[in-house]
Structure 1
Amino acid sequence: MKHCLILLLTILSLASFTPAAEKNSQLNIDSSGLAIQGYDPVSYFSNEPQPGRSEFETVLNGTRYRFINRQNKDLFEKRPENYLPAYGGWCAWAMLDGNKVSIDPKTYIILNGTNYLFYNGFWGTL
């Protein structure tokens, strides 16, 4: 497992990735347009990913994002590109092959300021 993580970190650090926010059809969202299964995208950057609350919700390009508090919502609204997950919220490992695989919102890694989400069944907790 340790070798897989090292390989993944190497691949991610060598490639140039940008968070996918171009088209909703490319994003990992539910049928209501909610991203990251309702998790607060800002909370990942304090190493405490948490489900957001509906009263702190914003819409960006037709996609709904929830936050744990007003402060996180304001941070996101000022610079959403800083908090959007890579690959539109799909499993980063699977996307290396172009496969869209759902994620476990608690399985992630922040690398070079970008949030990479993963499928828990494969990686476990990183």
Structure 2
Amino acid sequence: MTIMINRRLMLGGIAAATLGGSSLALAQSRTGGTINQMHAGQALMGYDPVAYFAGTAVAGREDLTVARNGGTYRFATAQNRDAFQSNPARYEPQFGGFCAWGVANGKLFSIDPVAGWEVRDNKLFVFFNAGVMGLWRAERSTLLARAEQNWPRLNA
């Protein structure tokens, strides 16, 4: 007996399980041109974007902030805030801080700023959770191309 498995259905099932099978993960259908601010207007759920480039997820402070693209970034140190202000494009997350895997699949998901992130090629990518990040890593080049194709439509 031969069993045929449809790869798309299998990945869809894995994704549903990884996302907890919840449609609540989908919080919006378009960005309106602003960054992911699903967490009370805080970009990256209040985590310091510069700290990721040093290899760690660090919560930012309420008194060290920069407003940009419709949201507020927080920073752990004044040095990180100053670095961001001098070159925000270097530190801002890709796809407006929405889950990169979700963007590749035409959806805007929030993120887990501690377990769902990676810096690759000097760019910050964030993900719904570690499981979804694993799906991204398994097919990074294909998913990145799809995300880049979908982003202009989602960022409208």
Matched, 1:72 2:86: no
CA contact 2:117–2:133 (8 Å) conserved in 1:
no
**1:17 matched residue in structure 2:** none
| TM-score using structure 2 length | 0.61
**1:109 matched residue in structure 2:** 118
Matched, 1:60 2:68: yes
In 1, the alpha carbon distance for the partners of 2:132 and 2:72 equals: 27
**1:23 matched residue in structure 2:** 33
- Tell me: CA distance 1:67–1:99, structure 2 relative to 1, closer, same or farther (3 Å): same
In 2, the alpha carbon distance for the partners of 1:61 and 1:90 equals: 14
In 1, the alpha carbon distance for the partners of 2:120 and 2:46 equals: 22
In 1, the alpha carbon distance for the partners of 2:32 and 2:85 equals: 16
Matched, 1:39 2:47: yes
* Greater share of helix: 2
- Tell me: CA distance 1:61–1:102, structure 2 relative to 1, closer, same or farther (3 Å): closer
| TM-score using structure 1 length | 0.74
- Tell me: CA distance 1:40–1:22, structure 2 relative to 1, closer, same or farther (3 Å): farther
Aligned-pair distance for 1:63? 1.8
The match for 2:132 among 101, 107, 123 is: 123
Structure 1 gap segments, 5+ residues each = 5-20
In 2, the alpha carbon distance for the partners of 1:64 and 1:30 equals: 11
In 2, the alpha carbon distance for the partners of 1:102 and 1:61 equals: 17
Number of equivalent positions: 105
Aligned-pair distance for 1:31? 6.1
Structure number, greater radius of gyration: 2
In 2, the alpha carbon distance for the partners of 1:22 and 1:52 equals: 25
In 2, the alpha carbon distance for the partners of 1:31 and 1:44 equals: 19
In 1, the alpha carbon distance for the partners of 2:126 and 2:91 equals: 12
In 2, the alpha carbon distance for the partners of 1:29 and 1:80 equals: 17
